[in-house]
Structures are given as C-alpha cells and as structure tokens.
Amino acid sequence: MTGIKRLTLLALVAVASATAVAQEQRQSPAEWRRMYEMGLKHRTAWDLYTALKVGAGGGKQSPSFAQLPDWSGLWTAAGGGAFFGPGPGGVSPKLTPAAAAMLKQGAELEAKRIVYDENLSECGPPGFPRWLIIPFLREFIARPEQTWLSSETVNNVRRVYTDGRDHPPVEDRYPLYYGDSIGFWDGQKLVIHTNQLMARSMGRSQPTQSEQMETVEIWNKIDARTIAADAWIYDPTLYVEPWYMNRRYSQVPNADKSIRIGYWNCGENPNNDVFKTPDGGTQYRDFTFTGGDNRAKEQGR
C-alpha cells in the first residue's frame, strides 16, 4: 500500500469513526419512543424502578470497585431532551391545565424580556431535575456504596446511595432541593429512584414542580466520551402521563489538565450582583468600575 493510499484509508476510517460516534450520540425516535412507553406502562416512578430492579435480577448493591464503570474526567451537558418540549419524533408531554398555564405565562414574560432566575441569580441551588440540564462542568464519582453526581453550577452534589438502604420512612420525609436518591447497579448501568423533591421552579420562566414529583434515571456510559441519562419524570400536577427525556453528557477535552472546577459564590465579585426588578426582570446593582451609577436604584432596588 502506498503512503497516499494508507493516508486515505486512515482518513476514511477516522471519518467513519467520527460519524459513528455522532450517530450514536443521538437517540433515535424509535428508541426514544420505546423508553417513553416504558414509563407509560408504570403508574408510579417506584413501580418503574421496581420493575427495572426485577429485570436486573435484583440489581447489584455495593459492587466492588473493579465492577464499576470509569466515569472519571470532566463532563458537560451535551443536550438531548427537554422538560416541556417535544422528544425525537415530535411527541410532546401531556401537560395538566395548570402546567400549560404556567408554561404559557412564562413564555409571555420571556417574549417581553421579563425574566428573573429565582434560584441561580443569587447562587441558590438549581435543584433536581433542573440539575439535568444546567451547563458548565460536572464530575461523576462512582464508589461501591454511593455515587456522587456533582456539578460546578452552585457547587452541588447529588448523592445516590447504592449500599442497599431504602428511602427514609414516609413519616420522616421532608422536601430536599435534590431529593433523596437510592439506586442499584445493573452491570455498568446505574439505576436511580429519587423522591422527597421540593416544590420549586424547574427553571427560568418554567412551571413549578410539586413535592409529588418522583423520578427514575438510568445512567450509562455509551461510548468513551459520552454518558447518557434516561430520565422518567412523574409529577401528576404537571404531567398527565409520565414524561421521558434522554440527556447526554460529553467528556471535556483536558489533555493538559488545566481545566478545573471552581467554587461558585455570587458574593465573590460585586459586579455579579443582580436583583429582581419590580416588574420581574433582572438588573445589575452598581458596578465597581463605574464609580456609582444610580440607574439601578431608580429601577427599584
């Protein structure tokens, strides 16, 4: 084989590999529908979780380190799915009238550019399931007894207990920003059930979730640079039927190890200090570099 032919072949292999990865990273409409319908077959998130556990032969609790997948490195959200938008193939969530009204109101305010983030603007927690879609860096740390799903945004950590413990008894449950998560391993897949979620906004101009919300997730590394999370969301105040979304997280290139996760503190730099205006919008307070500007005060700080 000549040098040119060899180079051409290598180039073709490289292109084919890249194409294959790109194709694999997009969930097909057929696969999306199969997973979506899996949620429809189960009345509650706990029913779905239990069925998945039975299907996994009871699942594995506290596996050895050697049995765990390698999720090391830095990751970031790579899209896929939305809480209120259509999935692949155009299927949209069936919303309750209350959820539809909240969504409409949020869209109208967005159109008028009246937007304030009740959580992140003051470095409050994004909470779950918003956690699934927030940007910036993430680390996923799998240990036998628990897995930490962490995100740079407001320094949060979701703890998923895989040591066989159950959720707290009903009488001892209380709302949590990220809920209470327990799980089991099905081979290299982590299956999670989350409850005890807090009633709060699901995002900027988005409907408010209820304390009745419960979710099931399946986390799986589908190629060397992609981790996928199937998520089924059950909340009768929002969804007439359980909703399903498939989120992807891609590994962040960091060959020289220069990129690190940093701590978030909205008070660190006064130039990042924003407030909610009387009409519900977002505005900065005074900047340090303008020598005191009164416009923020005039707008109702």
Partner 1 sequence: MTRVTLATVLGATLFTLAPAFLEAHHSDVMFEDKKEITVEGVVKEFQFTNPHSWLLVDVTNKDGSVTTWGFEAEGPSTLMRNKIRKSDFPFGTKLTITGRPMKDGRPAAIWRKAVRDDGTEFYPSGRASQTN
Helix and strand element counts for the chain (H, E): 5, 11
Q: Are strands 243-251 and 274-276 parallel, antiparallel or unpaired?
A: unpaired
Is the preceding peptide bond at 69 cis, omega within 30 degrees of 0? no
Q: Are the beta carbons of 138 and 247 closer than 8 angstroms?
A: no
Residues 6+ apart with CB under 8 A from 225: 21, 250, 251
- b/e per residue 221-230 (b: at least 16 CB within 10 A): beeebbbbbb
Size of the site for partner 1 (CB under 8 A): 42
Region from 49-57, 93-101, 117-125, 243-251 binding partner 1, contact rule CB under 8 A: 117-125
- List 38, 82, 115, 199, residue binding partner 1 (CB under 8 A): 115
Q: Shortest gap between Cβ of 20 and partner 1 (angstroms)?
A: 22
Which residue's CB is nearer to partner 1, number 69 or number 124? 124
Does the protein bind partner 1 through residue 103 (CB under 8 A)? no
Closest by CA to 242, choosing from 214, 220, 219, is 214
**C-alpha to C-alpha distances, 99 to 140, 259, 273, nearest whole angstrom:** 32, 39, 31
Which residue's CB is nearer to partner 1, number 8 or number 105? 105
Region from 24-32, 55-63, 65-73, 290-298 binding partner 1, contact rule CB under 8 A: 290-298
- List 120, 176, 198, 199, residue binding partner 1 (CB under 8 A): 120
Write the interaction track for partner 1 spanning residues 123-152; mark x where CB under 8 A is met and - where it is not: x---------xxxxx--------------x
Does the protein bind partner 1 through residue 282 (CB under 8 A)? yes
Chain positions contacting partner 1, by CB under 8 A = 113-117, 120-121, 123, 133-137, 152-153, 203-204, 252, 258-266, 268-269, 271-272, 274, 281-284, 287, 289-290, 293, 295, 299
